Structure 1
Amino acid sequence: MEQIEKIIDEKIQGQALVTDNKKENTKKLFIESYGCQMNMNDSEIVASILAKEGFNTTQNLEDADLVLVNTCSIREKAETTVRNRLRKYNAVKKINPTMKVGVLGCMAERLKEKFLEEEKIVDLVVGPDAYRDLPNLIEEVDAGRDAVNVILSKDETYGDVSPVRLNNNGVSAFVSITRGCDNMCTFCVVPFTRGRERSRDPKSIIEEVREMQEKNFKEITLLGQNVDSYLWYGGGLKKDFKKASEMAQATAVDFAQLLDLCAIEFPKMRFRFSTSNPQDMSLDVIHTMAKHKNICKYIHLPVQSGSNTMLKAMNRQHTREEYMELVDNIFRIIPEMALSQDMIAGFCGETEEDHQDTLALMEHVKYDFGFMFAYSERPGTLAAKKMEDNVPHATKKRRLQELIDLQLKHSLYRTQQHLGKTEEVLIEGTSKKDPNKWKGRNTQNTVIVFPKEHYKLGDFVNVKVEDCTSATLIGTAVDYSDNN
């Protein structure tokens, strides 16, 4: 089952952030994040904004002047966890009555009235586009007033805020390139919690990558709810592009061009990106990936279902046939490409035939790995308002298990293709199971473990693959790769 939870990485859920403390700062900030990688990245932005307001991070909840929890609305489990944490904070508040508690992120947008008025469990509520307003909001709270800002912005991208890099391996980092989403999938709460889609100035992206390179990071993941639809034409919402001047349209930078810029500017840096939406994925992106060795040959390409009826009900802007044609084209241009999926089992009205269509699509693609969930209704989404969640729980569970079993079979098939090959790996840390082994990933995003020998964290190493499980390759380092 280790494949299933990769996108919401359970290991980093709820870890308190640690940053380099400034001597002159006297106040203490305790900040925890739940949910997606965008949230982890946003917490780094918040820590950066508050460092200028006199806050150092602490890992000790009891010492904190300000406690913030960055929240997620994607799944019920994430919301339940956050509620439990808020109860814990309030128990601590009894010992430390001056401590202030705030909710950031997607749940803030969704449950603002509940948190402040009905449950009276927090002092401030701050949505994903309002982090710059934190200093003012904290002043409001200090003056004894509740503080709320969940206004979703048309242009906030935090392009000029340099995130404080926290709790990571010092080798790979995330750089946000878009915020929000325009896709309005009926099962998804993101457009309502993170707003409409807008892109960040490519200059500020290149600058941030340069900073990361100077700090010796070796791999950057370009991050967005939907990176393929990245489009910079001088600022503003993606949907307003048609209204832009001819000049602005002619000189716009799309995702393929941004990737190309990054790869050329930083030839020794490895690039990944997440998440992609099939309807926006152009073959220009695939050709750019083919052209540059330092763009990893891996795409997370969520499909959600293999049934046209379900895709329509989900308001996905592609059919099963279009998706399979896209996949065939990707493999034609880059045969060694690795693909991963998101799949929902038991969406509203899903029949056995729809489910079989999904299994057949998986057989066609043979994904390297995937993230599969049984459908759970999210309040505020179109599906919750207009559709009946009518697939019985036991049926959802069985279908989910069938998806997982098939995915594990395909994952093993894909890892076996690497046996006997020598592949470039970036060392990211020590293997969880064996302290004498390094772990890293190849260009396809598959984890490889191998004996440490004299190699160091952050080295690019050629590793000969000798064995595998469905999730991991096992091998021996041959020598350094030419990327060091």
Structure 2
Amino acid sequence: MQEKYIDETKQGEAIAIAEKPENTKKLFLESYGCQMNFSDSEIVASILNDNGYNTTNNLEEADLILLNTCSIREKAEQTVRMRLSQFKNLKKQKPSITVGVLGCMAERLKTKFLEEEQLVDLVVGPDAYRDLPNLLKETDDGRDAINVILSKEETYGDINPVRLGGNGVTAFVTITRGCDNMCTFCVVPFTRGRERSRDPHSIIKECINLAENGYKEITLLGQNVDSYLWFGGGPKKDFNKATEMQQLTAVNFAKLLDLVALAVPEMRIRFSTSNPQDMDLDVFRMIAKHNNICKYVHLPVQSGSNEILRKMNRQHTREEYLELIKKAKEIVPDISFSQDMMVGFCGETEEDHQQTLSLMREVEYDYGYMFSYSERPGTPAHKKMEDNIPADIKQRRLAEVIALQGELSRKRMEGYVGKIHEILIEGISKKNKNQWKGRNSQNAVCVFDKLDGQKLGDKVSVFVHGNTQGTLLGETVL
């Protein structure tokens, strides 16, 4: 599993969307961790919206509080525990409130969560969200409720997610669930179960629905999108005038990209996350073929050392990774890459660390997600390897990786200066309310002055005249 994480552990507000006037209860829902969790929260909101709950961003009026949690690092779990402790006074004032924990942390701790956390009434794993209405009946009767059974089939493909918060411009569409890769450091195969792919008909239907509702960009999500593989059939489906899906016998990720790009030609398409050993060159060929597939790939590597990659059970070598990058750039010359990098894994030597730095220099990533290793209970690394790198060495190596990525990011941003880019307006700049912010095809953030007539969701030609380490500075081309 290699997920793209949303900064550090991040909390998302629940916005009252798709309210039903007959609903009498309020759901307050917060999401932590990766994009998959935020996407799952939209599924949860949809299920509960059909069972009497409207979402709210006002904690005090909530009847049900749910935290969708992350277990990938210890810090993520600590954040959730701290948040739960903040509910103590609210629970005293309103004893009828039900508090539940969803997602990976719920799956990892199972019944221990009910024993450890006095505030928790409900524990639900990632594959059991359909059971929420039944579980809530148990909590209404004064009993704690739990369902952490993992599934080999559940994809939630028939559920139309309620879009929580967001900007009305970009949206997530989940295409796979679970992970079979068994990296030794990773807890996800144990918290999200075996890998399975969603029916492509339902994926395309969801994408078309988003386009019809004004969305301009979708991100296809999975723990490992490149291993998407669906076998099936069914009658011919008409999705729009340009695209038909004939009798399908097998669809891999490259073919799915092709189908989605044709079905929603006016929408930008991104995807995350990829895994090097499963990445097919046909994916890059599809990026080159379709202008609406963005020229950006998040391709985690974790380490530049073959010895550390072997210990991590990454199933690819340094050489294979670099060869994949080389071929990708030949197929899509202006493609950009980002990385996940972990320092201080079990037994990592200074030479291993230097190999990571040299790989980063060779690839020249646009940006990255960089962490020091922390043991996750139950993983093969925790059971069989010694976490023997001192904390101060981890911190120093991480600082060096972050500093190098800063240099590479600035260099990559400088390469975009002096050119015209198509920018999708996604929101208002945090630093200047008179400026828009958006991204180019390579996922670089750009800010530029607002002009009359421009609005959210517009695609604008922007001349980039400057940059910072992580942002392009531009002006609209008239």
| TM-score after normalising by structure 2 | 0.94
Matched, 1:322 2:320: yes
User: Are the counterparts in 1 of residues 25 and 63 from structure 2 also a CA contact under 8 Å?
Assistant: yes
Q: For residue 88 of structure 1, report the CA deviation from its aligned partner.
A: 1.8
CA distance in 1, matches of 2:281, 2:116: 50
Q: Percent identity?
A: 68
Structure 1 residues 22 and 184, CA, compared in 2 at 3 Å: closer, same or farther? same
Cα pair 2:423 2:462 within 8 Å, conserved = yes
* 1:458 and 2:457 are equivalent in the alignment: yes
Aligned residue for 1:22, secondary structure, equals: coil
Structure 1 position 124, deviation (Å): 1.1
Letter in 2 for 1:459: D
Which of 11, 24, 27 in structure 2 is aligned with 1:26?
24
Q: Residues 46-72 of structure 1, C-alpha deviation per residue, up to 9 Å, x if partnerless?
A: 111001111111222222211111110
Q: For 1:124-135, what aligned pairs fall within 5 Å after superposition?
A: 124-135=122-133
Displacement after TM superposition at 1:26 (Å): 0.5
Question: 1:201-240, aligned counterparts within 5 Å?
Answer: 201-234=199-232
For the pair 1:367 / 2:373, whether they are aligned, the reply is: no
Match of 1:146 among 140, 144, 149: 144
Match of 2:112 among 111, 114, 128: 114
In the alignment, structure 1 segments of 5+ residues that lack a partner are 236-248, 480-484
How much does 1:286 deviate?
Answer: 0.6
Partner of 1:239: none
Q: Residue deviations 1:296-333, cap 9 Å, x none?
A: 00000000000000000000010000001000001111
Picking from 164, 170, 173, the partner of 1:172 is 170
Residue of structure 2 equivalent to 1:197: 195
The correspondence for 1:404, drawn from 402, 405, 424, is 402
Deviation at residue 11 of structure 1 after TM alignment? 8.7
Q: Counterparts of 2:15 and 2:160 in 1: how far apart (Å)?
A: 16
Match of 1:90 in 2: 88
Q: Which amino acid aligns with 1:465?
A: V
Following TM superposition, by how much is the alpha carbon of 1:6 offset from its aligned partner in structure 2, in angstroms? 7.8
Q: State yes or no: 1:273 paired with 2:271.
A: yes
Which residue identity is paired with 1:343?
M
Q: Aligned to 2:341, which of 340, 343, 351?
A: 343
Alignment of 1:298-447 (within 5 A): 298-447=296-445
CA distance in 2, matches of 1:460, 1:356: 42
Contact 1:179 1:224 in 2 (8 A): yes
The alpha-carbon deviation at position 120 of structure 1 amounts to: 3.3
Q: Distance in 2 between matches of 1:18 and 1:402?
A: 43
Name the count of aligned residue pairs.
462
Amino acid in structure 2 at the alignment position of 1:164: V
Aligned residues of 1:372 and 1:400 also touching (Cα < 8 A): yes
CA contact (8 A) 2:72 2:376 kept: yes
Q: Is the 8 A contact 1:448 1:474 kept in 2?
A: yes
Q: Is the 8 A contact 1:17 1:32 kept in 2?
A: no
Distance between the aligned counterparts of 2:116 and 2:398, measured in 1? 37
Looking at structure 1, the residues matched to 444 and 347 of structure 2 have their Cα atoms a distance apart, in angstroms, of 35
Q: Which residue of 1 aligns with 2:184?
A: 186
Q: Offset of 1:221 from its aligned partner?
A: 0.3
Q: Are the counterparts in 1 of residues 254 and 283 from structure 2 also a CA contact under 8 Å? A: yes
> 1 CA distance for matches of 2:267 and 2:11?
27
Mapped contact 1:303–1:342 kept (Cα < 8 A): yes
SS in structure 2 at match of 1:347: coil
Work out the CA distance in 2 between the residues paired with 1:170 and 1:16. Answer: 14
In structure 2, C-alpha distance between the alignment counterparts of 1:123 and 1:450, rounded to whole Å? 48
Local SS of the residue matching 2:86:
helix
For residues 386 and 159 of structure 1, the distance between their equivalents in structure 2, rounded to whole angstroms, comes to 37
Name the CA shift for 1:192/1:100 in 2 (closer, same or farther; >3 Å): same
Q: Is the 8 A contact 2:174 2:220 kept in 1?
A: yes
- Equivalent residues of 2:60, 2:90 under 8 A apart: yes
CA displacement 1:340-373 (0-9 Å, x = unmatched): 0000011110000000110111111010111101
Larger deviation: 262-271 or 9-18? Answer: 9-18
Partner of 2:239: none
Asked if the contact 2:4/2:273 (under 8 Å) is kept, the reply is: no
Between 1:74-83 and 1:84-93, the stretch displaced more is 84-93
Q: What is the CA distance between 1:14 and its match in structure 2? A: 4.3
How far apart are residue 138 of structure 1 and its match? 0.7
Aligned-partner Cα distance in 2 for 1:196–1:17 = 32
What is the distance in 1 between the residues matched to 2:427 and 2:280? 34
Match of 2:446? 448
Shift of the 332–140 alpha-carbon distance from structure 1 to 2, 3 Å rule, reads same
Which has the higher mean CA deviation after the structures are superposed, 451-460 or 189-198? 451-460
Q: 3-state SS of the aligned residue for 1:475?
A: strand
* RMSD of equivalent CA atoms: 1.6
C-alpha change, 1:475 and 1:42, in structure 2 (3 Å) is same
Amino acid aligned to 1:474: L
* CA displacement at 1:422 relative to structure 2: 0.5
SS in 2 for 1:153: coil
Specify the alignment match of 1:244 in structure 2. Answer: none
Task: Give the TM-score normalised by the residue count of structure 1.
Answer: 0.93
Q: Which residue of 2 is the match for residue 161 of structure 1?
A: 159
Kindly indicate whether the alpha-carbon contact (under 8 Å) linking 1:178 and 1:199 is maintained by their aligned counterparts in 2: yes
CA deviation after TM superposition for structure 1 residue 397, in Å = 0.6
Post-superposition CA distance 1:186-229 (Å, at most 9, x none): 11111000000000000000000011001100000000110011
Give the 3 Å change call, closer, same or farther, for CA 402–12 of structure 1 in structure 2. closer
Compared CA separation, residues 287 and 6, structure 1 to 2 (3 A): closer
Letter in 2 for 1:163: P
Q: What letter is aligned with 1:196?
A: R
- Contact 1:17–1:59 (8 Å) recurs in 2: yes
